[in-house]
Amino acid sequence: MSAPDFIPTSPTARVRAYSSPPRRNDSWSPDRVAEVKSQPAGDGLGSSGPDQGYCFTLVKLFDDQLFLGAVNHDDVAAGCVALAMKRASLYGRAPVVHDLTVAFAAYGFLNPSPDNDLVTLREDLFAECRSPHHYFERRHIVDIVKVEYLKQPHAAAVEACSVNWKEPFRTDKI
């Protein structure tokens, strides 16, 4: 173990080196009581994935491309980052810029003149969703978007939104 320089040591003392623990012959399995054997799925439960916080760094790339209207920038970032993280987790990877492109396009934030009904919908959905007290509102923003829409290539998803603004949404949840 390392020690500060002012601690006297014997120059003839043998220095210990790291050694690995013995190898296990059996493969690992989740057999303990509290281990999660699979991620539960459903509305309001979220989606796990690696390095999802990186998405907040990527939001800065879109600052000059977003058409927010009356919605606060931080609310838009919180809601769309959650949607982008879900898309990334569907692919089992960390978020990339295309995940945010799909998320912003779904709610018309990349469109300079979105449909009035979409503007009304997003003003209602995104109000104060940046607050940690509004987790379920943020989850609703994510859960009303179809998984099939999120699994499309980003260019196809953006195109689908420009043709019909209702395309990304589950009509039973709006």
Task: Give the residue among 51, 65, 49, 48 at the shortest CA–CA distance from 103.
Answer: 65
Tens digit of pLDDT for each residue in 46-76? 667 778 888 889 999 998 999 988 999 999 9
Stretch 26-35: mean pLDDT: 76
Position 172 scores a pLDDT of 78
- 79/12: higher pLDDT: 79
Half-sphere exposure of 43 (CA within 13 A, CB side): 11
How far apart, in whole angstroms, are the C-alpha atoms of residue 48 and residue 25? 30
Stretch 79-90: mean pLDDT: 92
Highest mean pLDDT among 13-17, 18-22, 50-54, 60-64: 60-64
Stretch 39-49: mean pLDDT: 71
Does residue 83 carry a pLDDT above 90? yes
Position 149 scores a pLDDT of 93
- 81/92: higher pLDDT: 81
On whether the CB atoms of residues 137 and 82 are closer than 8 A, the answer is no
Tens digit of pLDDT for each residue in 123-144? 999 999 999 898 899 999 999 9
Tens digit of pLDDT for each residue in 144-155? 999 999 999 999
On whether the CB atoms of residues 55 and 88 are closer than 8 A, the answer is yes
Residue ranges covered by each domain of the chain: 52-163
Position 2 scores a pLDDT of 66
Position 1 scores a pLDDT of 58
On whether the CB atoms of residues 52 and 95 are closer than 8 A, the answer is yes
Task: Give the residue among 92, 69, 88 at the shortest CA–CA distance from 80.
Answer: 88
How far apart, in whole angstroms, are the C-alpha atoms of residue 90 and residue 31? 26
Q: Which two tokens stand for residue 170?
A: 């589950």
Task: Give the residue among 45, 104, 42, 36 at the shortest CA–CA distance from 73.
Answer: 104
Chain-centroid distance, C-alpha 126: 16
